[in-house]
């Protein structure tokens, strides 16, 4: 005789809760192929369903293996207002790298080493739970969630968080594969457009050559100079059109400054090329340099830094220029500050075409540009690009 299994009401209630949480998070993750959006959705769901205060996700870079803050929700001010505190390693990351966060039993509440010694700005948070993220045995990162009153967490919630970690790891792997596919498609598209531009320029140069050859033949024949002049003017007009097209297309399409290098490496190379005996001292500071950025954002930020640095060197008459890149899970920010002569910001867009171009680049990336300057007070230019909409 087979005895039917019957669960207690408490067990059924707990199982229903667990299934509803897993289902909500799985549906949320399945709707997203963008890595940042997927992680942000997962964080919001976990915090809401577990009634928690804050959370953040560390990921390991595929190539270098460095850790970076990939997403965060409601960080306490001590961390949110000091991005450098979310740089580098910490106790939970070190434990994870050493393989000690291998199972649900070890996913427990630990004291956050980044908040040790701080009193103000912690929102009462001292402890967090660290959920390891693995995909096919590969280390992906760590999922941290925190609450003000945590000292320990139940075994049931630990197991549930561990399962959520598995779902998040799968979503990370899928998003990365999608991104790699999209990048490969973008590269193929750039190559296709480059071939089209080449063909267009070749046709334009052919037309110019024909006009000049005609003018040469007319000169040799001793014909009317007005006819010769007309052919030369037509050739000049075609040359100007093709030159403008070439400049616009090349600036938009090629990513040569970043090929084979990260954005921080490209900025370091830019600073080195601008250094000189009679030039001002240029200092580069980078926070969050391990955080990956979409190619379009990297290229745009590099061009912005290049143009802003050129403007400072050309106009500021400064003895020191500070270039800073700061990348968080939400925003990529670049700033250029000098101690030079400054200028009247009311006149900036009347004769500074470089700044007009900067403003257009920032607008195309969905970002914001802020300019602070006065005559004799130096200049600070800051550009912020939201990663969720700018990626």
Can you give the three-state secondary structure of 141-204, one letter per residue? EEEEEECCCCCCCCHHHHHHHHHHHHHHHHHHHHHHHHHHHHHHHHHHHHHHHHHHHHHHHHHH
Distance in angstroms (rounded) separating the CA atoms of residues 145 and 153: 11
Rounded distance, CA 291 to CA 328, Å?
Answer: 7
- Residue 149 pLDDT: 74
Q: What is the β-pairing status of strands 320-327 and 109-111?
A: unpaired
Angle between helical axes of 225-253 and 155-220 (0-180°, round to 10): 170
357 CB contacts (<8 Å, ≥6 apart)? 307
- Cα–Cα distance for residue pair 22/260, rounded to 1 Å: 40
3-state secondary structure of 223: coil
Give pLDDT tens digits along the chain (391 positions).
Answer: 445 545 566 767 777 777 877 887 787 777 777 778 888 888 888 888 888 888 899 888 866 668 888 889 988 888 888 888 888 888 888 888 887 665 444 456 667 778 776 667 777 787 788 888 888 778 888 888 888 776 566 777 778 888 888 888 888 888 777 777 666 666 665 665 555 555 566 667 777 787 788 888 888 887 778 888 888 888 887 777 777 666 655 554 554 567 668 899 999 988 988 776 567 889 999 999 888 888 888 888 998 998 888 888 888 888 999 999 999 988 999 999 999 988 877 765 444 546 777 887 888 888 999 999 888 888 999 999 998 643 4
Taking the C-alpha atoms of residue 228 and residue 232, their distance in angstroms, rounded to an integer, is 6
pLDDT attached to residue 78: 85
Structure tokens at 1: 């005789």
Q: List the beta bridge partners of residue 129.
A: 109, 145
Q: Are residues 326 and 287 in contact, defined by beta-carbon separation less than 8 angstroms?
A: yes
Count of beta carbons in the 10 Å neighbourhood of residue 42: 26
Quote the CA–CA distance of 242 and 205 in Å, as a whole number: 8
For residue 106, the model assigns a pLDDT of 44
Tokens of 150: 């945590």
CA angle 65, 71, 74 (to 5 degrees): 140
pLDDT computed for residue 201 by the predictor: 66
Interaxial angle between packed helices 9-30 and 35-50, expressed in degrees from 0 to 180 and rounded to the nearest 10: 160
Specify the DSSP element, H or E, that contains 385: strand 379-386
Q: What is the Cα–Cα distance from 84 to 369, expressed in whole angstroms?
A: 22
Long-range contacts of 280-283 (CB under 8 A, 24+ apart): 280/313, 280/316, 280/318, 280/319, 280/320, 280/321, 280/338, 281/319, 281/320, 281/321, 282/309, 282/320, 282/321, 282/322, 282/323, 283/320, 283/321, 283/322, 283/323
Q: Which two tokens stand for residue 29?
A: 């993750």
Q: How many contiguous H segments (helices) and E segments (strands) does the chain have?
A: 11, 10
């Amino acid at each position: 005789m087979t005895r039917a299994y019957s669960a207690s009401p408490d067990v059924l209630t707990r199982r229903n809760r667990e299934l509803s949480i897993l289902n909500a998070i799985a549906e949320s993750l399945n709707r997203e192929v963008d890595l940042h959006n997927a992680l942000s959705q997962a964080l919001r769901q976990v915090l809401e369903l577990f009634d928690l205060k804050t959370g953040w996700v560390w990921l390991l870079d595929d190539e270098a293996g460095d850790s970076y803050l990939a997403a965060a929700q409601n960080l306490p001010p001590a961390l949110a207002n000091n991005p450098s505190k979310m740089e580098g390693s910490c106790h939970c990351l070190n434990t994870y790298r050493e393989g000690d966060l291998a199972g649900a039993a070890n996913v427990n509440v630990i004291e956050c080493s980044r908040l040790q010694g701080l009193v103000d700005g912690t929102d009462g948070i001292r402890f967090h739970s660290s959920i390891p993220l693995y995909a096919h045995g590969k280390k992906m990162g760590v999922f941290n969630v925190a609450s003000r009153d945590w000292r320990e967490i139940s075994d049931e919630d630990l197991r549930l968080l561990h399962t959520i970690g598995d779902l998040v790891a799968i979503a990370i792997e899928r998003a990365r594969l999608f991104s790699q596919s999209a990048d490969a498609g973008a590269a193929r598209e750039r190559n296709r457009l480059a071939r089209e531009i080449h063909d267009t320029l070749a046709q334009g140069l052919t037309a110019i050559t024909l006009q000049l050859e005609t003018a040469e033949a007319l000169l040799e024949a001793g014909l009317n100079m007005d006819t010769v002049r007309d052919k030369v003017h037509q050739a000049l007009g075609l040359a100007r059109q093709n030159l403008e097209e070439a400049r616009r297309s090349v600036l938009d399409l090629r990513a040569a400054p970043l090929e084979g290098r990260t954005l921080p490496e490209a900025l370091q190379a830019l600073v080195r090329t601008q250094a000189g005996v009679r030039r001002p001292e240029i200092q580069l500071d980078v926070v969050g340099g391990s955080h990956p950025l979409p190619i379009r954002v990297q290229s745009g930020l590099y061009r912005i830094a290049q143009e802003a640095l050129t403007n400072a060197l050309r106009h500021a008459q400064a003895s020191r220029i500070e270039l800073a890149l700061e990348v968080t899970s939400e925003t990529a920010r670049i700033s250029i500050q000098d101690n030079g002569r400054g200028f009247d910001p009311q006149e900036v867009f009347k004769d500074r075409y470089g700044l007009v171009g900067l403003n257009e680049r920032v607008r195309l990336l969905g970002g914001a540009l802020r300019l602070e300057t006065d005559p004799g007070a130096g200049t600070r230019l800051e550009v912020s690009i939201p990663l969720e909409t700018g990626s």
